[in-house]
Amino acid sequence: MKIDVLTLFPEMFRPVTEESILGRAKENGILDVRLTNIRDFSQSKHKKADDYPFGGGAGMVMLADPIFRALEHVEAKEKKILYMSPRGRLLDKELVGELSQRSELVILCGHYEGIDQRIIDHWEMEEVSVGDYILTGGELPAMIVIDAVARMIPEVLGSSNAHYEESIYSGLLEYPQYTKPREYAGMEVPEVLVSGNHKLIHLWQFEKSLELTRQRRPDLWEAYVRAEKNLTKDEKKILQKMLESSDG
C-alpha cells in the first residue's frame, strides 16, 4: 500500500513510520509512506502556508494554493483523499477495513484553524475524525489512520487473520494477558493458563473477554449479543450463563 501524507511537519512521522511493525513493513516493501511538505509548494518568498480567515475569527486558515499544488504533485485526483478533521466521519473498524482495501491513499493534515473549504470541495475529500476532541493538527490523527490501516494488511502482521483475533475486531474486548514470572508481588497467574489444556485456556479467555466487554463497553456487548455468531457448544454455554446473570 502506498500512502501519501501532506503535512507542514513531515519530521513528526519518521519515528512512527520507520520503527517497529510499520518500519518492517516498509523495509519489506509492503507499506510505502511518502511525506510531502506543503510549504515546499508555497509560491511566497517566506513559504507562507496560512492566512487570516474571511469573516474574522481566531487563528489562521491554511491556504488553498500550496495544498492544491501539493495534491497535484502526488497525483491525488484519482486516489482516495482523507482530510483529518474533528467534524469528519469517526474512524472505526468498518472505516479502517474499507481503507485497507485501497492500494493508495492520500492523507491531508490540517493545522491552525483548518483549511480553505474549497480544497475539500474541489478534491472531493472524505473528512475523518479520531474522536470528539481537538488536537493541534492532523498529524497525530493521520498516524493513527496509518497504523490502524497498515495492521489490516495481512503481510504486515504475518498472518491473514491476526488482526481479527484482536480486541474490537473480534467484537469483544481482549482478555487479560500474563507473562513470566508465574508469581510476582504476591500475585499469581491464573492456574488455567499454565495448565497446558488449550481448550480450557480458550474458554477462560472467551469468558474474560465477555466479562470485560459487558462491564466496559455496553455498546459492543449489546451488538455482540444481537449478532449471529459461530460459537462452539461450550462457548454458547458460557455466553448463556452470562446473559442469565445479566437478567438476574
Pick the CATH number of 183-247 from 3.20.20.140, 1.10.287.180, 1.10.10.10, 1.10.1270.20: 1.10.1270.20
Q: Enter the C-alpha cell of residue 130.
A: 479520531
Residue 102 in grid coordinates: 485501497
pLDDT of the residue at 66: 98
* Cβ–Cβ under 8 Å, residues 105 and 79: yes
What b/e sequence results for 12-31 when a residue is b if at least 16 CB atoms lie within 10 Å of its CB, and e otherwise? bbeebbeeeebeebbeeeeb
Rounded CA-CA distance 51/118 in Å is 15
pLDDT value of position 154: 85
**Quick one: DSSP state of residue 45?**
T
* Distance separating alpha carbons of residues 232 and 199, to the nearest angstrom: 11
Residues of the chain predicted below pLDDT 50 = none
Instruction: Please report, for the chain, the start and end positions of each structural domain, with discontinuous segments joined by +.
Output: 2-157, 183-247
The CATH class for the domain spanning 2-157 reads alpha beta
C-alpha cell at 2: 502506498
For residue 44, CA distances in Å to 37, 96, 169 come to: 15, 37, 47
pLDDT at 54: 95
Q: How many CB atoms lie within 10 A of CB 137?
A: 18
CATH topology match: 2-157 vs 183-247: no
Residue reference for cell 481503507: 99
Q: What is the pLDDT of residue 169?
A: 78
CA distance 120 to 215: 40
Q: In this predicted structure, what is the pLDDT of residue 159?
A: 56
